[in-house]
Amino acid sequence: MISKEEILQLAGMCKLKLSDEEIEIFGAMFSNVLEQVKGLDMVNTEGIKPLYFLNSANKSLREDVAGDSLDREEVLKNAPEEEYGYFKLKKVMD
Amino acid sequence: MNITRLTAMEIREKVINKEISSKEVVKAHLNRIKELDEELNAFITITEEEALKAAERVDEKIKNGESLGKLAGIPIGVKDNIITKNVRTTCGSKMLENYIPPYDATVIERIKAEDGIILGKTNLDEFAGSYSTESSYFGVTKNPIDTERVPGGSSGGSTAAVKAHEVALALGSDTGGSNRQPASYCGIVGIKPTYGLVSRYGLVPLANSLDVVGTFGRNVKDATLLLEVIRGYDEKDPTSMEIEGSSYLEKLKEGIKGMKIALPREYMNMDMDSRVKGKVMETVKLFEILGGHVEEVSLPHVEHYWATYYLIVVSEISSNMARYDGVGYGYRTEDYDSLDELYIKSRTEGFGEEIKRSILAGTYILGSKEGREYYEKAFRVRTLIKEDFDKVFEKYDVILTPTTPNLPFKIGDSIKNPFEMYGSGIFNIPANLAGLCAISVPCGYVDGLPVGLQIIGDRFKEANILKAAYALEEELALGGENNGL
């Protein structure tokens, strides 16, 4: 089970605001998920190495050679607001 | 000639032989899209102008006697989580509704270099994070075989477009079955390549350790042609591998005489739609008639696939989604008084419900003591799952399974029962966890709905699964043809 307080704390970490309905739906679903996840306790993994990434063996890094990269002006076209080549935000005091 | 009924191979041949122009091909398919897509909603963006220009360039090359690429004149749909230069790439999310990338994904560069023609960007579950294409900000895509049903997902826009002859080929992505499950639901061929065979540069990440770019066609040869073009090492993707290999297309005709075929006992004993099981077992018998040796094998960890996959996928999703903060690109809320409010409002308004649930779940797993313990456990179980497969592939060339345990479900049903929907990928996820290659190929219809057979192969042994799928298709002469539209 996951409590409403735990979900609200999670939402804060994720920078999300949830409605009461969303909290309820997530709580019910995730409590069910946690039950299923507990099934992994049955698997003996003693001495087994974790597989985080495939293809990590035999990989060499490329030479660090400077090359073309994306144009600053092009990239900034997708910014909601920009000025003088920077992302622009409203004045906020934190 | 009904141009949209041609296969991709036929289109290329007829364009090169000047029987039809590339422009005629593009126009015929654009007309088909105009005719059908209001109802199907397979496309988010249609790139009519760019497609017509690309077709003109192909026709110009033919006129000048220049050499032509492997995809010359073939109309292609691209899942909208694959970056396309100067063409809006939304990931099916309000968050990226107006995002226009300044570069092409490597797979897009390769398609363009071989004269393929991109007709548009196809619909998907938001950020490719589900199994029905219902969670897209741009509306539900309908299954062309039965428009009351989902096309599957997350690549449902691509599979619906291919099935409905809106395009001849399409690209998708597959994190836990997103190429194979919708291919099965739409009665077409879908390939999930080995992790590392195809560059992920420019594929918007959902879960980096599982994601691959894959291909769709209405027959095995067509889907193989597109795979052949996009595969290969890319220095921009550190997980892509340099693999020497001859042409898959040349190997297709080799047949499957003497091929060692495994049938996992545990999978076939699972709870599934008996009509699906029946059709798949009929198809397995065909492989024996075609000269394959089928034997039962054991893949013992099947009951732990889902939990293992879930722990890994939501953790990686929550990390990936952290980049959408309303600052550099993507959706930004109108009104905010602090930086925290900017983040919270932009993300709360920009993300859909399903992706939010994955972010919350992943954050719990990475951020709590209990979650962290299970996260570590999942990667160890992943090792065991991979070892199960390694053991089978010591003796066998391919493994046969149903692509999904069920038939395409009705639009709206997954909201009532999400776990049933997540369960539709149960036979698909081990190939992602272990980085294997797999294909879904149509094996027939029950009650008017398509059933797919999944053929899984060892890492970088695409030739085996493609040969097996091709042999089956030749025998069934289905070629992915539909009895729907």
Assign domain B3-251+402-476 to its CATH superfamily.
Answer: Amidase signature (AS) domain (3.90.1300.10)
* Band of residue A94 on the pLDDT scale cut at 50, 70, 90: low
Is the domain spanning A1-43 CATH 3.40.50.970? The answer is no
Q: Where are the domains of chain A?
A: 1-43
Which residues of A are less than 8 Å from B336 in CB distance?
Answer: 90, 92
Closest partner residue to A50 (CB to CB) among B301, B339, B383 is B383
Measure the CA–CA gap between B145 and B211, rounded to whole angstroms: 28
Residue B118, classed as helix, strand or coil, is strand
Structure token digits, residue B468:
């097996």
∠ Cα B27 B3 B138 (to 5°): 55
Model pLDDT for residues B99-141, shown as the tens digit of each residue = 999 999 999 999 999 999 999 999 999 999 999 999 999 999 9
Q: Where are the domains of chain B?
A: 3-251+402-476
DSSP string, B370-428: HHHHHHHHHHHHHHHHHHHHHHHHHH-SEEEEES-SSPPPBTTHHHH-HHHHHHTTTTT
Alpha-helix residue ranges (DSSP H) falling in B105-205: 106-113, 156-163, 180-185
B445-461 exposure pattern, b = at least 16 Cβ within 10 A, e = fewer: beeebbbbbbbbbbbbb
Report CB contact under 8 Å: A25, B374. no
- pLDDT of amino acid B56: 98
- pLDDT of amino acid A93: 67
Which residues of B are less than 8 Å from A37 in CB distance?
Answer: 307, 310-311, 374
**Over the Cα atoms of chain A, what is R_g?**
23
**Over the Cα atoms of chain B, what is R_g?**
21
Q: What is the nearest CA distance from A63 to chain B, expressed in angstroms?
A: 10
Q: Is the dihedral of CA B464, B467, B472, B478 positive or negative?
A: positive
Model pLDDT for residues B191-216, shown as the tens digit of each residue = 999 999 999 999 999 999 999 999 99
CB-CB neighbours of A26 under 10 Å: 22
Model pLDDT for residues B319-371, shown as the tens digit of each residue = 999 999 999 999 999 999 999 999 999 999 999 999 999 999 999 999 999 99
Nearest to A31 by CA among B130, B353, B364, B355: B364
Which amino acid is it at A36? Q
Structure token digits, residue B239:
């997980």
CB pairs under 8 A between A and B: 151
Q: How far is CA B161 from CA A90, B218, B456, in A?
A: 43, 11, 25
Cβ B172 vs Cβ B213: under 8 Å: yes
Measure the CA–CA gap between B320 and B314, rounded to whole angstroms: 10
Measure the CA–CA gap between B329 and B143, rounded to whole angstroms: 33
Mutate to test the interface with B, among A1, A2, A10 (most CBs of B within 10 A): A10
